[in-house]
Structure 1
Amino acid sequence: MSSTIGETIGQPVVPDKIPTGEYPLIDNDPHFSRVIRYTRPSDWLAGAAVGALSPGLMLYWERVSPSFVGKGGFAPVMRMSCAVGLTGAFLFAYTRTTSRFYGSRENRREVDLDMREMVDKVKKGEPLYGKSELTEYMQGVAHRNSRYTGVFSHVIPWPNFVNHPYHGVDTAKYYRQAEMELEQEKQRS
């Protein structure tokens, strides 16, 4: 028994890719805080590049074709274009991260982070997706309203702010991994 556990403990429970060539689904309705925690620095950099387009283009257009609005006319335009740029930067980074949760982008890092986070929660006896004060029905409503909204966030940003148990994932993998780790820890003692 111990040789079986020793052989399998180093292997990921979730493969890098599903046999069809797709990346595994982590969560079809990730909570807002999880998305922010799992966002890669490269996503923030890509978002910053997208966000810099708006004020950058305004400066470029003002140089190419001056508006001659006077001393205080261009500042409000730049403030608005910076606000649009910041919003676009955040939405771009958020969307890239949610697409990793959905399995539509490379997500090995997120799979590992998810497995570690959920296994730690199982070991502590905490609910996997957090506690909610809402009724079961309202949790279901929240889930149905925000499932796969990351795909459409460029039109209607609608992140999930509700803890609920409906995430489209078989949670047994977390319990199996926690069981294997607890068994290995018991054998070390």
Structure 2
Amino acid sequence: MPFRQHETEFTPIDSDPTFGRVMRFLRLEDYGLWAASTAAAPATYYWVDMQRPTKSLPLGLKAAAALGFVGGFFLAYQQSSFRFWGVSENQREIEQDRAEFVAARASGKEHHLGKSSLEPYLQGVSARHSRYTALSFSWLPWFNFVHHNQGVNWDLYKDLQTAGQVAN
């Protein structure tokens, strides 16, 4: 089944980036969102506890901090994924991705996405099951750990190859 490319305002990079790529491309704002969520959850719990005191304040604060940490991580991961998909502004990510491509080609690799030990059919199965999964974190946290080149916008690299910046 061919991959369907969605129309977006910004240039898409990859519809199914691996977990490592998404984490490498996190911006400072994403880390700030993650930290703010981690801090806001126990602060909110503490404020609510001051309105109606309970006997389990320390345990509740720890649980709220853990939930804030996980929820903040999901938010930061989702924001980074949106930039890969072209949903939000992603010029910095495009430049970083192109630099990784040039470095990989200069070192003799075919591309910068990593090498998979799976056969192409299973890479396709993985791509079909993990594409756009950052939209469903509310009910099923699902990440892509399989390296494949399906869903990548290869048009981003054509001008690099024709300009002679990388070896063919």
Taking structure 2 as the reference length, the TM-score comes to 0.86
Structure number with larger C-alpha Rg: 1
Partner of 2:25: 38
Partner of 1:154: 138
Distance 1:96 1:157 in 2: 15
1:140 match: secondary structure: helix
**By how many angstroms is 1:182 displaced?**
3.5
Unaligned regions of 5+ residues in structure 2, if any?
Answer: 1-6
Partner of 2:79: 96
Partner of 2:99: 116
For residues 140 and 41 of structure 1, do their structure 2 counterparts lie closer, same or farther at Cα, with a shift above 3 Å needed? same
Partner of 2:127: 143
1:182 match: secondary structure: coil
Partner of 2:118: 134
| Paired residue total | 159
**By how many angstroms is 1:134 displaced?**
1.0
Distance 2:144 2:63 in 1: 27
CA RMSD in angstroms comes to: 1.9
Distance 1:151 1:134 in 2: 26
Distance 1:87 1:127 in 2: 36
Check if 1:84 corresponds to 2:67: yes
For residues 74 and 142 of structure 1, do their structure 2 counterparts lie closer, same or farther at Cα, with a shift above 3 Å needed? same
- Give yes or no for contact 1:122–1:174 (8 Å, CA) kept in 2: no
- Give yes or no for contact 1:95–1:151 (8 Å, CA) kept in 2: yes
Distance 1:21 1:165 in 2: 20
- Give yes or no for contact 2:46–2:57 (8 Å, CA) kept in 1: no
Partner of 1:186: none
**By how many angstroms is 1:153 displaced?**
2.2
2:151 match: secondary structure: coil
Q: After the TM superposition, which of the residue ranges 48-57 and 95-104 deviates more from structure 2?
A: 48-57
